[in-house]
Amino acid sequence: MYSYLLLLCAITEVALCDPHGLFQRRSGVVPSLSGDPVVMGAGTYPRANFLSDGSILGAYAATVNDNKVLTLASSTDDGGSWSVKGSAATRPTNSSDLDNPYPLQLPSGRVLLAYRNHDKDASTGDYTFFRITISYSDDNGASWLFLADAATKPGGTIGIWEPFLRNAQDGSLQLYYSEENSADDQDSKMRTSTDGGTTWSDAQTISGTDITARDGMLGVATIQGSSLIAVFESEQGGLFTVKSITSTDDGQTWGNRQTVYTPTGTDNNAGAPQIVNVGGTLCVSFMTDEDTQEHNWINGAGAKLITSGDSGSSWGNKIEVFDPQANWPGLLTLDDSSFLYMVDFGGAKSQKIVLS
Ligand SMILES: *[C@@H]1O[C@H](CO)[C@@H](O)[C@H](O)[C@H]1NC(C)=O
């Protein structure tokens, strides 16, 4: 069988033959924009996942008068249009910090939203308590209730940030997030839940134990089977680059720290990455100030994309998807050759991208 596939590889689609496995890649590696950006809603930090009914549930952080509102938007046409579906949490901006929403449907049909949910002193602005909170919806994102605080940390100057949820192959739920140890050190953490997000394991550090750097904003994609890749930003000496780690056991253990992207020029930044697998091609979004060189991160950042046709060993085919100023990009696979690139570009927007 393998020799037959090798032969077929050799005589047909050489470019699609991945050295790490045969015929894993069903798409090309060259991205191009398809159509115009579509408004998701007035807000920032857009993230989305498919529901079992084929619709997409998106989330973003909106500011409405004196409140932050974690807003859900639905699309029934693969991101061609969006309509507001509901809101999961609302808190005053001066006494709280509500942001970083990440939606995911469980196999049971329940939908979860993980988000940062911090308390602040309304007079001083100081953080008085940090939480990664999970809310749940049993009606596809229309109405929401509190489920759990999956991680907490006492108030102060170091907190917890940027949750990412993933359904593991064994039916458990994984929560990835970032935790600061000090002003110049932050690690990527992971907790698991076997009861749909009500209770959580202790946190395991999956990147950053052996290095003084600010690892953050992690996203995870499946390469194939139990083989996963996570991307995250890492800041050292004030400059951000994009790194990756991999897992061969569906996220239970992680290692193999690699550099995914270093910005061009001098003293420039590349951060806030996310990753998806699109037909076997890995696609990584990130923001970078390498073109404007403002050296005042995150000011001057545009939103770019790179791809890998060899399971993350090498990266290329860079394009700019949104001009500066574009913040906090996220990704969603649509099918084997297309995906949505979501970003705050004067509000939450989605852009369809095709691979050829
Ligand atoms: C915080 O904002 C609310 C309005 O949302 C306002 O009523 C309150 O006075 C503010 N508190 C402080 C300390 O500024």
> DSSP readout, 156-194?
SS--EEEEEEEE-TTS-EEEEEEEEEETTEEEEEEEEES
Q: Is 83 in the pocket of ligand 1 (CB under 6 A)?
A: no
Distance (Å, rounded) from C-alpha 214 to C-alpha 135? Answer: 27
Q: Whose CA is nearest to atom 12 of ligand 1?
A: 122
Confidence category of residue 24, pLDDT binned at 50, 70, 90? low
Q: Whose CA is nearest to atom 4 of ligand 1?
A: 66
> Among residues of the chain, what percentage have pLDDT more than 90?
93
Q: Is 63 in the pocket of ligand 1 (CB under 6 A)?
A: no
Q: Which ligand 1 atom is the nearest neighbour of the CA of 65?
A: 5
Confidence category of residue 10, pLDDT binned at 50, 70, 90? very low
Q: Is 92 in the pocket of ligand 1 (CB under 6 A)?
A: yes
**pLDDT of 13 above 70:** no
Confidence category of residue 169, pLDDT binned at 50, 70, 90? very high
**DSSP assignment string, 308-327:** ESSTTSS-EEEEEEEPSS-E
Quote the tokens at residue 72.
């859900």
Of 96, 100, 88, the closest CA to residue 45 belongs to 100
pLDDT, residue 25, reads 83
Model pLDDT for residues 301-314, shown as the tens digit of each residue: 999 999 999 999 99
Domain boundaries, the chain: 33-355
Q: Is 15 in the pocket of ligand 1 (CB under 6 A)?
A: no
Among 64, 65, 66, the mutation site with the greatest number of ligand 1 atoms within 8 A of its Cβ is 66
Contacts of 237 (CB under 8 A, 6+ apart): none
- Helices in the chain by DSSP H: which ranges? 2-11
**Average pLDDT over all residues of the chain:** 94
User: Are 276 and 254 a contacting pair, CB within 8 Å?
Assistant: no
Model pLDDT for residues 189-237, shown as the tens digit of each residue: 999 999 999 999 999 999 999 999 999 999 999 999 999 999 999 999 9
Q: Where are the beta strands (DSSP E) in 5-43?
A: 31-41
pTM of the entire predicted model = 0.94
User: Are 261 and 232 a contacting pair, CB within 8 Å?
Assistant: no
Sheet holding 348-355, edge to edge: 31-41, 348-355, 338-344, 327-335
Sheet holding 281-288, edge to edge: 270-278, 281-288, 302-308, 316-322
Q: Which fold has domain 33-355?
A: Neuraminidase (2.120.10)
Distance (Å, rounded) from C-alpha 151 to C-alpha 331? Answer: 25
The dihedral through the CA atoms of 318, 322, 327, 331 has a sign that is negative
Model pLDDT for residues 274-284, shown as the tens digit of each residue: 999 999 999 99
Sheet holding 44-50, edge to edge: 44-50, 56-64, 67-75, 83-92
Burial class (CB in 10 A: 0-12, 13-18, 19+), 80: exposed
Contacts of 287 (CB under 8 A, 6+ apart): 270, 271, 272, 298, 301, 302, 303, 304, 326, 327, 328, 329, 343
pLDDT, residue 219, reads 98
Contacts of 17 (CB under 8 A, 6+ apart): 9, 10, 23, 25
pLDDT, residue 26, reads 87
- Distance from Cα 117 to the centre of ligand 1, integer Å: 18
